[in-house]
A and B are shown apart, each in its own frame.
Chain A
Amino acid sequence: MTSSEPTITVSGVSKRYGARYAVREVDLALAPGECVAMVGHNGAGKSSLIKLMLGLTTPTEGAIRVLGEDPASRAASHVRERIGFLPENVAFHPSMTGRECLDFYARLKGVSRRGNGDLLERVGLEPEAARRRVGTYSKGMRQRLGLAQALLGGPKVLFLDEPTTGLDPALRQSFYEIIGTLRDAGATVLLCSHALTELEGQADRVVVMNRGRKVAEGSLATLRTLAQLPVRVRLTLTLPEADMAALAGLGGTPTRLAGGVVELVCANDDKVDVVRRVAQLAASLSDIEIVQPSLDDMYAHFLRQEAAE
């Protein structure tokens, strides 16, 4: 397989449970060395799509290829040696210790158990904790163990469903570092999350899902252009009263925020012009800040758009 060929292709896939569609007519292609974030509400079809890609369920319509095989076929068993998966709310057998759990999964995957100690350390699970039974673990510790098992054997494809829930900020940072290393080594990473803000700067591409459908797809910059959301320009003024009248001429109503901050709303294309004129008009300007629409804002926008259609 050459590096340009996609590792995962999803074409026209629908999954129906009774009359309800969990996934509807989704097309997707993921390339090696790419980190893609899938965002959406609970029940938007993210986990259902991952289950389809793992072959846990079979699509009602359409076809899926993961590393060249249909994941639900018999031949896919050996393909799963190169897949890592961290399910949402990962669960383990409570009577086993953390280390035993990881050893069990390593044996199933045919991976040497020698590296398991290092792997546990890498995800921040202390040797003392690894000797304890999983039944005594906190949510965060289970999540770390879950991440460790997903990383077993250096997978070519990683599915991570809500990976950072229950992790503290420091660990989140090191989690994204681990993901980054794998991606740079050529792995395809698919992340599901609704913690949208932390995905900024991590994901090469974002796929927005809603009610089983793919609503939007692209890099953060592309999505910003698509959404055409206004940019907010925040000005800190030493004498706000004096300058408010001058700013009113800029179009749009300036709003006063706490601490002498005034906010102007303008289109993304106009922001340079607005900033230039503000610098001339507002005599008491002491600071300026441009607030881009966050992923949260864009996500809300795409959902509103979808609802309106």
Chain B
Amino acid sequence: MNTLLIIAGKEIRDGLRNRWVVATTLLMAALALTLAFLGSAPTGTVGVGPLEVTIVSLSSLTIFLLPLIALLLSFDAVVGEIDRGTMTLLLSYPVARWQVLLGKFLGHAAIIAFATTLGYGAAGVALAAGEGGIAAESWRAFAAMIGSSILLGAAFTAMGYLASTLVRDRGTAAGLAVGIWLGFVLLYDMGLLGLVVADQGRSVTADVLNWLLLANPADTYRLFNLTGFQNVSLFAGTAGLAAHVQLSPATLLAVLAAWVAAPLALASFIFSRRQI
């Protein structure tokens, strides 16, 4: 346990030193604040709370941005250290390989959690100060959005680690990371849409579609945030969809957590067999 914390702490300090933490926090705060103010401008007469609008727009943005940040942070984590020669030295110390991998992951996940909480939290604070009178239910949805965003970031960090342990060369790892982002964030939904249209509902039933959505952490995250809370889904235009989704928010969160654990376990397995 102690070894994990030592390695995670080193990773966090590295993130602070090379200004990753500052840069991502500022970026996320700037985007969240922009969306909060732009989004809340026209809602005065619609009868929807400003926080709900922000949740919908922020979660849509998160799906694109956070996986990208997570992958950028993680693709170099293993292959880069092997390349620079710092891994050889680290592994000559009394540490197990899974401890190295998990410790580094915890450090990176902490950086993402910090940046997301602070960046998005700033938007929440700004809205509360500007509008006031936001319902507790809305705050719960907002907190759930931040929490699930961290989980989404952790899932893509774990996939970045997997990419980083699979290959022998930093360039390939970077390419793989870009591929993961394109695949899960952009192409998957397009493909799914094409499939549904072409199939005309013959074999791709609502059940099958649910499973297909769970097979992508980005879609799981979207389902959780847009259908998990009634006040949000009303505004997002997904209330109809929400009625059809039989998956409880707890299930969706568990699936997201599995998207963190599975790539990490696989990466750890491969790394333990790797000849450095």
Contact = CB atoms under 8 A, between A and B. Distances in A.
Given A56-B275, A57-B275, A91 B86 contact: yes
B94 A108 contact: yes
A84 to B, nearest CB: 8
Interface in A138-153: 149
Interface string B67-106: 0000000000000000011101111111110000000000
A32 B111 CA distance: 46
B14 interface: yes
B95 to A, nearest CB: 6
B14 A93 contact: yes
B190 interface: no
Interface in A69-100: 74, 77-81, 83, 85, 87, 89-93, 95-96, 100
Given A80-B92, A108-B93, A159-B92, 19 more contacts: A56-B275, A58-B275, A77-B94, A77-B95, A79-B94, A81-B94, A85-B92, A87-B85, A87-B89, A87-B92, A90-B85, A91-B85, A91-B86, A93-B14, A93-B86, A95-B13, A96-B13, A96-B17, A108-B94
Chain A interface: which size bin? 20 to 34
Chain B interface: which size bin? 20 to 34
A85 B3 contact: no
Given A85-B89, A91-B85, A92-B86, A51 B95 contact: no
Q: Which of A54, A100, A107 has the most CB of B within 10 A?
A: A107
Interface in A118-176: 149, 159
A91 B92 CA distance: 13
Interface of B: 3, 6-7, 10, 13-14, 17-18, 84-86, 88-96, 275-276
Contacts of B86: 91-93
A110 interface: yes
A151 to B, nearest CB: 13
A93 B10 contact: yes
Contact of A83 (B3, B84, B92, B275): B92
Given A56-B275, A56-B276, A80-B92, A108 B3 contact: yes
Interface string A5-23: 0000000000001000000
Nearest to A56: B276
B269 to A, nearest CB: 14
Contacts of A90: 85, 89
A105 B6 CA distance: 9
Contacts of A104: 6, 10
B25 to A, nearest CB: 18
A96 B18 CA distance: 10
Given A87-B85, A104-B6, A104-B10, A95 B17 contact: yes
Nearest to B85: A91
A109 interface: yes
A89 B85 contact: yes
Contacts of A51: 88, 276
Contacts of A100: 13
B92 A54 contact: yes
A255 to B, nearest CB: 47
A255 B119 CA distance: 82
B22 to A, nearest CB: 14
Given A74-B96, A110-B94, A91 B89 contact: yes
A55 B97 CA distance: 11
Contacts of A95: 13-14, 17-18
B93 A54 contact: no
Nearest to A83: B92
Nearest to A71: B92
B13 A56 contact: no
Contacts of B10: 93, 96, 104
10 tightest A-B CB contacts, nearest first: A95-B17, A91-B85, A85-B92, A80-B94, A57-B275, A56-B276, A81-B94, A108-B93, A91-B84, A107-B6
B20 to A, nearest CB: 11
A81 B3 CA distance: 13
Nearest to A17: B275
B142 to A, nearest CB: 35
Nearest to A85: B92
A91 B90 CA distance: 10
A239 B90 CA distance: 65
Contacts of B6: 104, 107-108
